[in-house]
Amino acid sequence: MEHVLNVEDVFKRYKSQGDYAVKNVSFSLLEGEIVGILGPNGAGKSTLIKMILGVICPTKGQILVFGNNPLRFEKKDKVKLGVFLGGKSNLIYHLPVLDSVRLFQSIYRVPKAVFAENLARYSQALQCDGFLQQRVATLSLGQRLRAELLCILIYEPQVLILDEPTAGLDPKGRDLVLEQVAAYQKENGTTVLLVSHSME
């Protein structure tokens, strides 16, 4: 099996901070594996994810994604990733949900027929059918997070990196999201990196 991710002796210290936000982290992720990163608020989880995505640079250590430095990611690798960063929305606030899904279709060049099939499948699985025509601004938190996930699954990424995808949800809403991530993983052999502060 291929290594999707290698994190080796990684440290991160922000210039404005005295202490390390991430200290000596090493792990790897094989194709098809599901790995959870658990820790309390402020533990450095999101900092680690941002380094994996090449948004910020480690102070020390090495990260390889698909064998490459994420700071020099190529488009062909980027399109394999489905990323949700908690608290940050990918949806266009004042437009219908479907417009955001179509934006993802366009960016990731999902062919029409594949889009139609995936939209039907994942919208139903994530219980989005009832609000696809509704403006994002009118959604509840649970609906919004399911719509965020729909935008990601629509292009069927090989790797899911989900940073707190269920934060703020009630147990039922959380279970629905996690069950659908698990179902998608099982069906596609997806590699999943799931970040949470919730120990359950």
Chain residues in the site for ligand ADP (CB under 6 A): 14, 16-17, 21, 39, 41-47
Which helix (H) or strand (E) segment is 61 a member of?
strand 60-65
Q: Are 30 and 40 in contact (CB under 8 A)?
A: no
In whole angstroms, how far apart are CA 116 and each of 20, 47, 105?
46, 36, 10
d(CA 99, CA 53): 26
Closer residue to ligand ADP in complex, CB, 44/82: 44
Tokens standing for residue 86:
């908690």
Q: Which stretch binds Mg ion (CB under 5 A): 38-46, 56-64, 143-151, 185-193?
A: 38-46
Q: What is the DSSP letter of 64?
A: E
Closer residue to Mg ion in complex, CB, 46/191: 46
Shortest distance in whole angstroms from residue 193 CB to ligand ADP? 13
d(CA 168, CA 170): 7
Is residue 46 involved in binding Mg ion (CB under 5 A)?
A: yes
Question: Residue 51: which of ligand ADP, Mg ion, none does it interact with, CB under 5 to 8 A by kind?
Answer: none
Question: Residue 180: which of ligand ADP, Mg ion, none does it interact with, CB under 5 to 8 A by kind?
Answer: none
Q: Which stretch binds Mg ion (CB under 5 A): 8-16, 40-48, 148-156, 175-183?
A: 40-48
Is residue 196 involved in binding Mg ion (CB under 5 A)?
A: no
Q: Is 160 exposed, middle or buried (0-12, 13-18, 19+ CB in 10 A)?
A: buried
Question: Residue 143: which of Mg ion, ligand ADP, none does it interact with, CB under 5 to 8 A by kind?
Answer: none
- Given the rule CB under 5 A, which residues bind Mg ion? 45-46
